[in-house]
């Protein structure tokens, strides 16, 4: 496992890879939530401060580094402090829906280890907007500096697509005042009908409604990698017309092309979105399309297949304002973000840091 520390690579091979992925995630969540309480998180935060040159000003905020955690890992905003102490410059929580929902039946999360990828069909399992809001309120009440927190919102499964606008507005009204930025997720493949909301005639009124509900909180839209380039350009133009803050590109893909994993293993995983290293090429391509279409001040957050400092530096050079990762966290271990951010200045300068 290139990049991961020796002890974690051994732990992954011997223990974690044998566990059900969702069970392994729950165990990791327990450790991350404990970091602020046992003092380890404070030590990590003090000794892992990003180089001042990495600070980014966007969305009306000062990000300590451009690298953050994508939505999907902390669905219910229960791990924000521990994740920030682990090296992420911002944490995007969710996807949160207006109504609590259990998600799809298990098993619903599968590793494709030779590809350093994951297939998921979680189905927006979360405890709902009200529960997330209460956690964020507690976080905001704490003394001292607060981590930068984005909130990713999606459609409740039981709500018809025709009623999606009201559903998103409910989440936006409750969560926007507590978020540093708000993300409209219309690109997960695991909620029936959701990706259809990327069609302009449906997307425009939805984004306009969320923007109006969010008030002063910046709003971005998260798009799929499976869109054609012309569709990406049309969404970019819509974002500009509506004066939104920007775009997150990209979500997971339905494609299974070019995988090294045994086809029988891929088939057994079944339907769902693919994330991880195989997305890198398409995610980078979508970033370039967006950057060419959007005005310079628009925030573009690039996510998909980012593993190393060199990967993050490539996205920043291609015009990303910020960069996010997620799947590599599962393969690289708890010090991954810290290691990546530490290597980023050299990578941006043209070095080979990982």
pLDDT of residue 10 exceeding 60: no
Model confidence pLDDT, tens digit, residues 61-96: 999 999 999 999 999 999 999 999 999 999 999 899
Residues 6-11 have a mean pLDDT of 58
- pTM recorded for the entire structure: 0.93
3-state SS string for the chain: CCCCCHHHHHHHHHCHHHCCHHHHHHHHHHHHHHHHHHCHHHHHHHHCCCCHHHCEEECCEEECCCEEECCCCCCCCCCHHHHHHCCCCCEEEEEEECCCECCCCCCCEEEEHHHCEEEECCCCCECCHHHHHHHHHHHHHCCCCCCCEEEEEECCCCCCHHHHHHHHHHHHHHHHHHCCEEEEECCCCCCCCHHHHHCHHHHHHHHHHHHHHHCCCCEEEEECCCCCHHHHHHHHHHHHHCCCCEEEECCCECCCCCCCCCHHHHHHHCCCEEEEHHHHHHHHHHHHHHHHHCCCCCEEEEECCCCCHHHHHHHHHCCCCEEEECHHHHHHCCCHHHHHHHHHHHHHCCCCCC
Assigned CATH for 6-347: 3.20.20.70
Residue 215's pLDDT is: 96
Domains of the chain, residue spans: 6-347
pLDDT of residue 2 exceeding 50: no
Residue 188 annotated among the catalytic residues of the structure: yes
Model confidence pLDDT, tens digit, residues 196-243: 676 778 899 999 999 999 999 999 999 999 999 999 999 999 999 999
Q: How does residue 325 score in pLDDT terms, banded at 50, 70 and 90?
A: very high
Cβ atoms within 10 Å of 166's Cβ, excluding its own = 11
Candidate from 25-34, 103-112, 190-199, 221-230 with smallest mean pLDDT:
190-199
Model confidence pLDDT, tens digit, residues 281-301: 999 999 999 999 999 999 999
Model confidence pLDDT, tens digit, residues 139-187: 999 877 789 999 999 999 999 989 999 999 999 999 999 999 999 998 7
From the candidates 188, 275, 283, 302, which is the catalytic residue?
Answer: 188
């Amino acid at each position: 496992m290139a990049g991961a520390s020796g002890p974690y690579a051994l732990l992954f091979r011997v223990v974690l890879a044998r566990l059900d992925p969702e069970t392994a995630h729950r165990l990791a969540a327990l450790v991350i939530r404990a970091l602020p309480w046992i003092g380890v998180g404070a030590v990590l935060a003090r000794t892992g401060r990003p180089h001042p040159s990495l600070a980014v000003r966007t969305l009306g905020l000062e990000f300590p580094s451009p690298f953050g955690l994508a939505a999907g890992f902390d669905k219910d905003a229960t791990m924000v402090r521990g994740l920030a102490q682990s090296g992420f410059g911002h944490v995007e929580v969710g996807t949160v829906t207006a109504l609590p929902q259990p998600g799809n039946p298990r098993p619903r999360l599968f590793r494709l280890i030779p590809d350093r990828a994951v297939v998921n069909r979680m189905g927006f399992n979360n405890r709902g907007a009200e529960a997330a809001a209460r956690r964020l309120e507690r976080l905001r009440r704490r003394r001292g500096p607060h981590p930068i927190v984005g909130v990713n919102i999606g459609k409740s499964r039981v709500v018809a697509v025709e009623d999606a606008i009201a559903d998103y507005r409910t989440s936006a009204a409750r969560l926007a005042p507590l978020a540093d930025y708000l993300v409209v997720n219309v690109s997960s493949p695991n909620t029936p009908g959701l990706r259809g909301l990327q069609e302009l005639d449906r997307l425009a009124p939805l984004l306009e409604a969320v923007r109006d509900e969010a008030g002063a909180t910046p709003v971005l839209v998260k798009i799929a990698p499976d869109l054609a380039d012309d569709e990406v350009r049309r969404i970019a133009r819509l974002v500009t017309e509506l004066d939104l803050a920007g775009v997150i590109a990209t979500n997971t893909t339905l494609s299974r092309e070019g995988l090294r994993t045994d086809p029988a293993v891929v088939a057994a995983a079944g339907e769902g979105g693919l994330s991880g290293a195989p997305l890198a090429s398409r995610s980078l391509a979508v970033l370039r399309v967006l950057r060419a279409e959007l005005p310079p001040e628009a925030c573009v957050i690039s996510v998909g297949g980012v593993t190393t400092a060199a990967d993050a530096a490539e996205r920043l050079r291609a015009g990303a304002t910020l960069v996010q990762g997620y799947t590599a966290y599962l393969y690289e271990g708890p010090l991954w973000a810290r290691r990546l951010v530490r290597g980023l200045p050299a990578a941006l300068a043209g070095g080979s840091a990982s």
